[in-house]
Chain A
Amino acid sequence: MKAQETIIRRFTHGSAGLRGLQILTLMLLCWLAQLLTSHLQWPIPGSLVGLFVLWLLLNRKVLPAAWVEDGANDLLNHLMLFFVPAMLALVDRPELLSMLGVKLLIAVLISTLAVMCGTACVVEIGFRLKHD
């Protein structure tokens, strides 16, 4: 019984190979969308067009969500790994480890506080107007 469950789970949740295939599908979709946007010289990035196309396919039930879901979640779970190499450009910009860097840090922190407080308060007011 337990072995049977494992087999079923393997088919529904996808093995590593299946997830890899799903990630490849997403890569292919992104690449095609990037070709399209650069060919037509659209101002929005290809990955965004890929997102809309995938959403449309899922929404119109052309593509069952289960076919790409596990691979997509893998990519999103490890998203932070993918931009660490970009963040390491700091190594090439030692000027940021100075007064300029401190000023930038202060600007980022103040602006973040403003965005969080402002957004939360406006949404809360909107929520109360709608539900009270």
Chain B
Amino acid sequence: MTDLGKGIFWCVCTLVIYLSARKLHQRYGRWWSSPMLLTWLSCGLLICSLHRSYAEYLIGTHWMIWLLGPATVAFAIPIHRQQDLIRKHWILLCVGVSVGSLLAFASSWGLASIFHFSPEMRASLLPRSITTPLAMEASVRLGGVPELTAIFTAITGLFGAAVGESLLYYLPIRSSFARGALFGMGAHGAGVARAREISHEEGAIASLIMILAGLLNVIVAGVLSSL
């Protein structure tokens, strides 16, 4: 096959798997039916079983990674829509985002030291609590591998969204604000989707916390890298 043929093949495969997985998720709505998880595993299995390389897969799908940039720009819409919430609760939002980011960095750093991960692996772990496009940007600036960060971030989101409700059951939390913060800070995109299922308010807070945490992390990582 020519490069063009290969590109079209992998592009169509990914899109078909993704769209079917979305249909499946609409029906089951559980963590294991997440379209991201299903598309990731199916495409991975397909590449391995056909004995193809990652480089070949990227020919047809690299444009998707490129769309992460415009998608980041699109975060301006939810920020614009939730301006009243920001104005009203900016102190709490700042506290939640700073504490959450510090906890994420400190716990990742600590565990990486305990397990003796390489510096590259450790840097890839650090930004995994924020939304994936921004986590990948932060990872580059911290000296990590953005692809690895994408994997860690995805697992964080899946796990966080799956256990979030059980955590809420055990933690002494009454305010919708803290519930939203738990999902937005702990499980980024997947968490926001789960928070929206609880109520509109939790969803709005989770999405704001997620975006603001992402911005803070990328800016801090950028400043650190330029020192």
Q: A: which residues have CB within 8 A of B? A: 23, 26-27, 29-31, 33-34, 42-48, 50-52, 54-55, 58-59, 65, 68-69, 71-73, 75-76, 79-93, 96, 103-124, 126-128, 130-131
Contacts of A120 in B (CB 8 A): 167-168, 171, 173, 178-179, 181-182, 186
Inter-chain CB contacts under 8 Å: number: 290
Contacts of B132 in A (CB 8 A): 79-80, 83
Contact of B125 among A48, A55, A104 (CB under 8 A): A104
- Shortest CB-to-CB span from B227 to chain A, Å, is 9
The reply to whether B177 and A123 form a contact with Cβ atoms under 8 Å apart is yes
For chain B, the bracket of interface size reads: 35 or more
Contacts of A47 in B (CB 8 A): 68-70, 72-73, 133, 137
Given contacts A111-B108, A116-B164, A117-B167, contact A75 B74 (CB under 8 A): yes
Contacts of B131 in A (CB 8 A): 79
The reply to whether A119 and B181 form a contact with Cβ atoms under 8 Å apart is yes
Tell whether B215 is near chain A: CB-to-CB under 8 Å.
yes
Tell whether B14 is near chain A: CB-to-CB under 8 Å.
yes
- Shortest CB-to-CB span from A43 to chain B, Å, is 4
Question: When each residue 53-78 of chain B gets 1 if its CB lies under 8 Å from chain A and 0 otherwise, what string results?
Answer: 11001100110110111111111111
Q: Can you list 9 A-B pairs with a CB-CB distance of less than 8 A? A: A75-B67, A79-B71, A80-B34, A81-B15, A84-B61, A85-B62, A119-B96, A123-B178, A130-B91
Tell whether B100 is near chain A: CB-to-CB under 8 Å.
yes
Contacts of B18 in A (CB 8 A): 81, 84
Q: B: which residues have CB within 8 A of A? A: 14-15, 18, 34-36, 39-40, 43-44, 47-48, 53-54, 57-58, 61-62, 64-65, 67-81, 83, 91-92, 95-96, 99-100, 103-104, 107-108, 111-112, 115, 117, 121, 125, 128-129, 131-134, 136-137, 141, 145-148, 150-152, 154-156, 159-160, 163-164, 167-168, 171-175, 177-179, 181-183, 185-187, 189, 215, 218-219, 222-223, 225-226
- Shortest CB-to-CB span from B114 to chain A, Å, is 8
The reply to whether A122 and B107 form a contact with Cβ atoms under 8 Å apart is no
A104 to B159 alpha-carbon distance, docked (Å): 14
A63 to B205 alpha-carbon distance, docked (Å): 25
Closest to A52 in B: B76
Contacts of A110 in B (CB 8 A): 107, 111
- Shortest CB-to-CB span from A62 to chain B, Å, is 12
